[in-house]
Structure 1
Amino acid sequence: MRELRRSVLSLICCAVLVGCADAGPNPTGSANRTPALTESPAAASPTGPISPTDATSPTDATSPTRAPATASARSGTPTHPSAAPTRSSAAPVIIIDPGHSGRSIRRTEPTTGLTDFDYPNAPEMHEVYEVSTCVADGLRDLGYRVIMTKKDADDTVGLAERARIANKAKADLAISVHNDHGQNPAFQAVYSQRGIRHGDRYRPMWRGSGSNRTVFDHPAVARASARYARVIARERGAVLAAEVDVAEENFSGRAGLEPGNLALVQLLAEVPWVYNEAGALTGGSTTRRMTRAAQTAYAEGLLQGVVSAVPGPDAGTEPASPRELRSCIDRQHKL
């Protein structure tokens, strides 16, 4: 009888253990994260709910009489799945793209037929590389994963390659960093992949002419880019105690560039991309370097903007202070 009782008890224990094992936690400790972006019409924006006015996609505007090609259609790959990758890492991936190239580039981008054109532009390319490096250091200190599109100010990297780097990394956000020595410091601008509202709608974002006219066709990415652009503009403005405009580009009539209203690197990207400009005319000279104070303010605004737009894993930690950023800029000058 005692042996029978032991056998029954053993069977009951085994059943309980099996049941507990089935109801236990995920062995990995966490569920897979849902995509930061989705092309579903009911999707929420990565930084909050989409307002009724935001629900209009960049291609909702009246189409030209001839249907334009899209960047994704030319490549023969689906637009939306690649624009909304599933992420598994908790640390956001940020691409920082310092402007211009060590040598002149002019080649045909094969998927669109557009001209991939860039050129050396000193002192801008050195100034913005220094700013970008300090922003990257500040983000890494906060736990972000950061990829620079160039490893040195004088590197030669085409615009299509910069976009490819961001797409391959499935970046949460990419920012281009430029300045303009033909503009005084009052000029400060931010450009998104959605452009700005014209009346009650947004215009298509495009580049090229004739058979090469290519329209940006990632609506969810465009909406995210627009929201991030507003956040970055706000933070840059707070540092400068001045307004920073969210604007729309116009490349028509610019030597060596194809017409349109979107930077090529943004057109080819499948991730949210915010393009930044800052006036750098110093002492009335177009060749004199931007002041270190202006570089520091630029770096601070960008750092605060990225952190506010895409919160990182150390959300409670303060970003690098202006003094720390100035020390970083000073170190870059000594290299």
Structure 2
Amino acid sequence: MTTVGRAVAATLLLATLTACDATAAGPTPTSEPTVGSRSSYVPGDPTASPTVSEPQTTSARPDPTPTRSTTPTPAPTATRTPTPVTRPVIVIDPGHSGRSIRSRTTNGLLDFDYPNQPEMTEVFDISSCVADGLRADGYRVILTKRRASDSVSLTERAEIANRAKADLAISVHDDHGQGPAFQATYSQRGVSSNGHYPTMYRGTGARRTVFDQPKVAKASDRAAKIIARERAAAQGRPVGVRQNSFDGRAPLEPGNLALVELLADVPWVYNEMGALTGGSTTKRLSLAAETGYAKGLLDGVEAAVPIPGRSGSTSAADIRSCLTARR
């Protein structure tokens, strides 16, 4: 081989050896692996170590669709304003006056009242205790007299109830000329006969005055029946709904309706009870008789003019205590 040939062969051999060394050394990395990049680790290469990549993080993005709560929203509770309860107005009219009084009504009828003991004191005490009980039970009560001895005309008594627009008025009387079997209520309608009610009036001739308020009369009739029923239960004896008569009782005007009822524009019930005690016309009623009368009147008024939702009533014991204190 010539000298030139040997040189070329040596050059080729050196190039081949160099290439083999490069292959044996493995690939040269171009850059360090970055967080989040894939690892350059080649399985089976003992000279390389695996690069642990940090997990890729993704920034949170708002969900364009609004999230709806699965918990039902309770419906708003309606607030109801309590309806105020109307307190009925009751007028109580204790019978008789402290002195004799005479006047004329606008129709010319004689308005006459007079003292009558012991009735005047008895019925004032009974009326006062009924008033106390009704007030305790939620009623507004007006007495036509402040004291037993007050003198108030029948016209003034009716006007008191009319001005107050009373839901019901009651007159309270007793009769010491009658025994305890006499118990009565009197309405502005009278007592029907074969389904027909009489004309209710006072006076004769040009002074004759007729009660011409049918709605008031009907309400009075209803209340008179209720009060009679409750009085009977409390007094333990029958109480009748009757029709009055003032004929032959001069100087009172003749007719069949109490003057105070005739002059009233509101339902009115006139009450009487026999008060003859031990054969005496001047002896005061027993405490038991007064208590029964008062309790019957109170229960009758409350049944005739009830207060919605009211429960309970002033007891007979409370009324008895009131009457005892006044004796």
TM-score under structure 2 length normalisation: 0.74
2:291 counterpart of 1:280: no
How far apart in 1 are the matches of 2:308 and 2:319?
A: 21
Given candidates 322, 326, 330, the residue that maps to 2:320 is 326
- CA deviations over 1:80-128 (Å, ceiling 9, x no partner): xxxxxxxx9700000000000011011111x211000000001000000
The answer on whether the counterparts of 1:144 and 1:313 sit within 8 Å (CA) in structure 2 is no
2:203 counterpart of 1:208: yes
2:251 counterpart SS class: coil
The equivalent residue for 1:39 is none
The answer on whether the counterparts of 1:143 and 1:313 sit within 8 Å (CA) in structure 2 is no
1:200, distance to aligned residue in structure 2 (A): 2.7
The equivalent residue for 2:171 is 176
| Runs (4+) off by over 4 Å | none
How far apart in 1 are the matches of 2:280 and 2:325?
A: 24
How far apart in 2 are the matches of 1:241 and 1:299?
A: 13
The equivalent residue for 2:289 is 294
How far apart in 2 are the matches of 1:198 and 1:106?
A: 35
How far apart in 2 are the matches of 1:114 and 1:89?
A: 40
1:259 counterpart SS class: coil
The answer on whether the counterparts of 2:85 and 2:308 sit within 8 Å (CA) in structure 1 is no
The answer on whether the counterparts of 1:142 and 1:313 sit within 8 Å (CA) in structure 2 is no
The answer on whether the counterparts of 2:185 and 2:224 sit within 8 Å (CA) in structure 1 is yes
Alignment of 1:87-166 (within 5 A): 90-109=86-105, 111-166=106-161
The equivalent residue for 1:58 is none
The equivalent residue for 1:256 is 251
How far apart in 2 are the matches of 1:159 and 1:283?
A: 31
The equivalent residue for 1:265 is 260
The answer on whether the counterparts of 1:131 and 1:295 sit within 8 Å (CA) in structure 2 is yes
The answer on whether the counterparts of 2:88 and 2:139 sit within 8 Å (CA) in structure 1 is yes
1:268, distance to aligned residue in structure 2 (A): 0.2
How far apart in 1 are the matches of 2:85 and 2:248?
A: 43
How far apart in 2 are the matches of 1:293 and 1:94?
A: 25
- CA deviations over 1:195-249 (Å, ceiling 9, x no partner): 0002230011000000000000110000000000000000001112221000000
1:29 to 1:327, Cα distance in 2 relative to 1, 3 A: closer
Q: Report which structure shows greater RCO (CA 8 Å, sep ≥6).
A: 1
Percent identical residues: 62
1:278, distance to aligned residue in structure 2 (A): 0.4
How far apart in 1 are the matches of 2:236 and 2:128?
A: 24
1:139 to 1:284, Cα distance in 2 relative to 1, 3 A: same
Aligned residues: 250
2:275 counterpart SS class: coil
TM-score under structure 1 length normalisation: 0.72
How far apart in 2 are the matches of 1:304 and 1:329?
A: 17
Amino acid in structure 2 at the alignment position of 1:330: T
How far apart in 2 are the matches of 1:312 and 1:205?
A: 30
1:314 to 1:89, Cα distance in 2 relative to 1, 3 A: closer
1:312, distance to aligned residue in structure 2 (A): 2.3
Given candidates 216, 222, 236, the residue that maps to 1:221 is 216
1:324, distance to aligned residue in structure 2 (A): 1.0
1:192, distance to aligned residue in structure 2 (A): 0.2
The equivalent residue for 1:75 is none
2:272 counterpart SS class: strand
Given candidates 289, 311, 319, the residue that maps to 2:306 is 311
How far apart in 1 are the matches of 2:182 and 2:170?
A: 18
1:193 counterpart SS class: coil
The answer on whether the counterparts of 1:142 and 1:314 sit within 8 Å (CA) in structure 2 is no
How far apart in 2 are the matches of 1:25 and 1:108?
A: 57
1:315 to 1:157, Cα distance in 2 relative to 1, 3 A: same
1:205 to 1:177, Cα distance in 2 relative to 1, 3 A: same
CA radius of gyration, larger in: 2
How far apart in 1 are the matches of 2:85 and 2:154?
A: 27
